[in-house]
Amino acid sequence: MEKVGTKIRTERRARHLSLKELAKRCGLSTGTLQRIETGKTSPSVAVLAQIASYLLQPIDYFIQDERPKFRILRKGEHQVISSPKLALTMIAPMGLIDSNTFVNIGETKEGHFIDSHTEEGYSFVYMLEGGCIIEHDGFEYELHEGDSLFYDASYPHSVTAIGETAHRFISIFFKGKK
């Protein structure tokens, strides 16, 4: 139960709430909340749900085991999503870093390969080889090997590879609002 209490304390402090403020909001005594935070007592499911609600976290955040601190994805374990125009290798699928971030290596041939679309989140792209034109919200931006770009994916955007060389890039997508 100490881990539950430690997580509650960390989240409470991150929101600049005093022990007394959170206890009052949850209908608990300050002493009870202090015993929960120090692991001397465990909260009921109802109390934990109330605390979680005020701390803007799902209840399972407080009771789930910590993720492993170390994980290797071996060659061949990466999921590959491909179409005739694009191959994406998911080198860090959602959940590896966190539930809203994933990292891909993309490979494509010359020509248009991502149609105009929007997504809830932000993207970071680093060109490993070749070049491309990214159209974002009606403006065109040209990227070449070694260039990087960060953009709000909630605006319409599309991508076209330029030149006859290989086209490889790393993309990191951060799902949700920033």
Fill in the DSSP letter of residue 68: P
Report the pLDDT value the prediction gives residue 168, as an integer from 0 to 100: 96
Domains present along the chain, CATH in parentheses:
2-63 (1.10.260.40), 79-175 (2.60.120.10)
The sign of the dihedral angle between the CA atoms of 36, 38, 40, 42 is positive
For residues 168 and 161, give the distance between their C-alpha atoms in angstroms, rounded to a whole number.
10
- In sequence order, which residues have a C-beta less than 8 Å from that of residue 18 and are 6 or more positions away? none
Report the pLDDT value the prediction gives residue 77, as an integer from 0 to 100: 82
Report the pLDDT value the prediction gives residue 66, as an integer from 0 to 100: 60
What burial class does residue 137 get, using C-beta atoms within 10 Å of its C-beta: 0-12 exposed, 13-18 middle, 19+ buried?
Answer: exposed
The angle subtended at Cα 143 by Cα 78 and Cα 121, nearest 5°, is: 55
For residues 152 and 25, give the distance between their C-alpha atoms in angstroms, rounded to a whole number.
36
For residues 36 and 31, give the distance between their C-alpha atoms in angstroms, rounded to a whole number.
9
For residues 33 and 24, give the distance between their C-alpha atoms in angstroms, rounded to a whole number.
10
| Helix-helix angle 19-26:45-54, to 10 degrees | 120
In what side-by-side order are the strands of the sheet with 131-136?
Answer: 111-117, 157-162, 131-136, 139-144
Tens of pLDDT along the chain (178 residues) come to 568 898 899 888 988 889 999 999 999 999 999 999 998 998 988 899 889 888 888 888 888 766 556 777 788 888 888 888 899 898 987 777 887 898 999 999 899 999 999 999 999 999 999 999 999 999 999 999 999 999 999 999 999 999 888 899 999 999 886 5
Report the pLDDT value the prediction gives residue 153, as an integer from 0 to 100: 95
